[in-house]
Structure 1
Amino acid sequence: MKAQVFRGVNQLSYEELPIPTLEADEVLVQVRVVGLCQSDIKKIRYPLYEPPRIFGHETAGTIAAVGSNVRKWQVGQRVAVMHHIPCMRCAYCLNDNFSMCDVYKNISTTAGFNPSGGGFAEYVKVPGHIVQNGGLIPIPNHITFEEASFVEPTNCCLKAVKKANIVPGQTVLVTGAGPIGLMFIMLVKYFGAKAIATDLIPSRIEKALNVGAEAAFDARDTELTTKIHALTDGMGVDVTLLAVPSDKAFFQALDCTRKGGKILFFAEFPDEVEIPINPNILYRREIDLMGSYSSSYRLQSLAADIVFNRRIDVNALISDRYSLQDLSQAVNQAIAPTSETYKILIYP
């Protein structure tokens, strides 16, 4: 099979590899579509993991083979693949901190080498733990592989929305109108709240309005805080979702979030970034700072429901499609997006 192997920082090698062999409790999936995620790009561009590895985790495909002990799944079934499933028994899991679970972190789908997602390959192997505990999700007949590849990123965004306790009637500031920010706007609207978006690219500001934002502004607008306060009866937004790793966006969030509001970090910042803050700002205004990383097992069924019943329009997020052979080109486009670049999908 063909695969894109990470051989070092910014080094992807399109190689011929053996199709993974199965243990009795494992399943082999032929990858039809895999989304290109910002976390994949980060792993390719920075020295975070020892090579060789095969990344890619927003995977949808067809079951190509099953181990001898697998009973529930059959060859030919269309499935979305979750690349992590928690143990459900450790102290983290018992507190709903599933993404902190060692099993969640260390057992993953693989196309070879150290298990790292494996979606950037023609075939990916699903370990028994993931097969047995809900990591394969049947795709309804009316849903495309493209749509199904959004189940995992929808879960990640949904986790942040739930963690921030966004409820009907609230106003939410979404900083950044890339694919993640646009999905946040859709989810915020779906749950009955109002979204205000910011971005630096005019077409993305327009796109934010098209997918449901109540208002959208250039993040460089010197009157941004005044305009947002004008839209919120002088109070500020209830919640800010930081979908870009920008210290400037954070300080805008402090200015635009009401007393008693929440600011949630969703985008991962470079490790060298430090943000100085006077703690009395948080104390006196009772601002809650929180982070949301990865997906939540508890929200898996809801994420699938939202995608499979088209409660949000994930097709509106797709801008580019690349063959697996052209993954490096896709990564370069994601790093330096055009005015019309949103979600990029890869086709093994």
Structure 2
Amino acid sequence: MKAQVFRGVNQLSYEEVPVPEVGPDEVLVQVRVVGLCQSDIKKIMYPLYEPPRIFGHETAGIISQVGSDVKGWQSGQRVVVMHHIPCMRCDYCLNENFSMCDTYKNVTTTAGFAPSGGGFAEYVKVPGHIVRNGGLIPIPDGVTFEQASFVEPTNCCLKAVKKAQIGPGQTVLVTGAGPIGLMFIMLVKYFGARAIATDLLPARIEKALQVGADAAFDARDADLPSKIRDLTGGLGVHTSLLAVPSEKAFFQALDCTRKGGKILFFAEFPDEVEIPLNPNVLYRREVDLMGSYSSSFRVQALAADIVFNKCIDVDALVSDRYNLRDLGAAVERAVRPSAETYKILIYPEGKV
């Protein structure tokens, strides 16, 4: 089969590799589409992992082979593949902090070499632990593979929205109107809250309004805090969601968040970034700082339900489609996006 093999920093090799052999409790899935995630880009561009590896994890496809011991699944079924499933037994899992579980963090779906997701290939093997514990999600009729590939990123954003306890009557600031920021806007609206978005690009400001933001502003607007106070009865937003790794965005969110509000870090900052902060700002205003990393098993079913029932318009997030052989070009487009670049999807040869 064909796969994009990570051979070193910024080195992708489109090559022939063996189709993974399936064990008795495992399933082989023919990849039909896989989303290009910022975490994939980071793994390709920086020396974080030893090569060779095959990345890619926002995967939807068709079961092509099932192991002899597998129950409840058969060849031909359309499925979403979840690459993270927690153990459900450790202290983290028992406290519903699933993304800190060692089993969760140990990626085991693979298309060969050290297991690393495996979606950037024609076939990916799903291990028994994931098959048995909810890591395969059937795709209903009427839902495309493209739409289904959004279940995992929707889960990640949904986890953050639930953690911040966003609900009806609230106003939420979303910093950054890229694909994640736009999904946040949709989910904020789904839960009955108002969304205010910021971005640097006029096209993305307009896109934020198109997908449901009540207001959208240039992030460089010096009057942004006062404009947001005007929209919130002089109080500021209940919650700010940081969808961009920007120190300026954080301090802007701090200025725009009301007393007793929340600021949630969703985008991952570079490790060398340190944000100087007077703790009395948090103490006197009772502002909560929180982080949300990756997905949550607890909201997995809800994420699938939201996508499959078209409660949010994931089709509006797709801007680019690339063949698997052109993954390098897709990464380049993501790193140097145009004003119209949002979500990029990758397809095995001939499937675009």
Separation in structure 2 between the aligned mates of residue 7 and residue 251 of structure 1, nearest angstrom: 39
Separation in structure 2 between the aligned mates of residue 170 and residue 9 of structure 1, nearest angstrom: 43
Letter in 2 for 1:305: D
Correspondence list, 1:68-217, <5 A: 68-217=68-217
Separation in structure 2 between the aligned mates of residue 112 and residue 345 of structure 1, nearest angstrom: 21
Query: Could you list the per-position Cα deviations for residues 237-261 of structure 1 after superposition, in whole angstroms to 9, with x for gaps in the alignment?
Result: 0000000000000000100000000
What's the CA shift for 1:222? 1.0
Separation in structure 2 between the aligned mates of residue 11 and residue 177 of structure 1, nearest angstrom: 29
Separation in structure 2 between the aligned mates of residue 163 and residue 51 of structure 1, nearest angstrom: 35
What's the CA shift for 1:108? 2.1
Letter in 1 for 2:176: G
TM-score (norm 2): 0.98
What residue ranges of structure 2 are gaps of 5+ in the alignment?
Answer: none
Separation in structure 1 between the aligned mates of residue 65 and residue 172 of structure 2, nearest angstrom: 45
Does structure 1 retain, via aligned residues, the 8 Å contact 2:29–2:65? Answer: yes
SS at match of 2:30: strand
Aligned to 2:302: 302
Separation in structure 2 between the aligned mates of residue 54 and residue 226 of structure 1, nearest angstrom: 48
Number of aligned residue pairs? 348
Separation in structure 2 between the aligned mates of residue 157 and residue 123 of structure 1, nearest angstrom: 27
Query: Could you list the per-position Cα deviations for residues 182-234 of structure 1 after superposition, in whole angstroms to 9, with x for gaps in the alignment?
Result: 00000000000000000001000000000000000000011111111111111
SS at match of 2:299: helix
1:46 aligns with 2:46: yes
Letter in 2 for 1:247: E
Letter in 1 for 2:33: V
Letter in 1 for 2:279: P
Separation in structure 2 between the aligned mates of residue 178 and residue 337 of structure 1, nearest angstrom: 10
Separation in structure 1 between the aligned mates of residue 170 and residue 312 of structure 2, nearest angstrom: 19
1:258 aligns with 2:258: yes
Aligned to 2:2: 2
1:282 aligns with 2:282: yes
Separation in structure 2 between the aligned mates of residue 53 and residue 239 of structure 1, nearest angstrom: 38
TM-score (norm 1): 0.99
Query: Could you list the per-position Cα deviations for residues 71-110 of structure 1 after superposition, in whole angstroms to 9, with x for gaps in the alignment?
Result: 2110000000100100000000001110100111114210
SS at match of 1:34: strand
Separation in structure 2 between the aligned mates of residue 239 and residue 13 of structure 1, nearest angstrom: 43
SS at match of 1:320: strand
What residue ranges of structure 1 are gaps of 5+ in the alignment?
Answer: none
1:293 aligns with 2:303: no
Separation in structure 2 between the aligned mates of residue 167 and residue 141 of structure 1, nearest angstrom: 31
Aligned to 1:237: 237
Query: Could you list the per-position Cα deviations for residues 23-51 of structure 1 after superposition, in whole angstroms to 9, with x for gaps in the alignment?
Result: 10000000000000011111111111111
Aligned alpha-carbon RMSD (Å): 0.5
Separation in structure 2 between the aligned mates of residue 268 and residue 256 of structure 1, nearest angstrom: 21
Separation in structure 2 between the aligned mates of residue 258 and residue 48 of structure 1, nearest angstrom: 38
Letter in 2 for 1:257: T
Query: Could you list the per-position Cα deviations for residues 132-186 of structure 1 after superposition, in whole angstroms to 9, with x for gaps in the alignment?
Result: 0000000001000000000000000000000000010000000000000000000
Separation in structure 2 between the aligned mates of residue 290 and residue 8 of structure 1, nearest angstrom: 34
Letter in 2 for 1:338: S
Separation in structure 1 between the aligned mates of residue 210 and residue 108 of structure 2, nearest angstrom: 36
Letter in 1 for 2:34: V
Letter in 1 for 2:320: D
Does structure 1 retain, via aligned residues, the 8 Å contact 2:107–2:117? Answer: no
Separation in structure 2 between the aligned mates of residue 20 and residue 141 of structure 1, nearest angstrom: 28
Separation in structure 2 between the aligned mates of residue 80 and residue 108 of structure 1, nearest angstrom: 15
Separation in structure 2 between the aligned mates of residue 99 and residue 233 of structure 1, nearest angstrom: 37
Bigger drift between 46-55 and 188-197 goes to 46-55
Separation in structure 2 between the aligned mates of residue 261 and residue 193 of structure 1, nearest angstrom: 14
SS at match of 1:197: strand
1:346 aligns with 2:346: yes
Letter in 2 for 1:12: L
Does structure 1 retain, via aligned residues, the 8 Å contact 2:321–2:345? Answer: yes
Aligned to 2:313: 313
Runs of 4+ in 1 over 2 A off after TM superposition: none
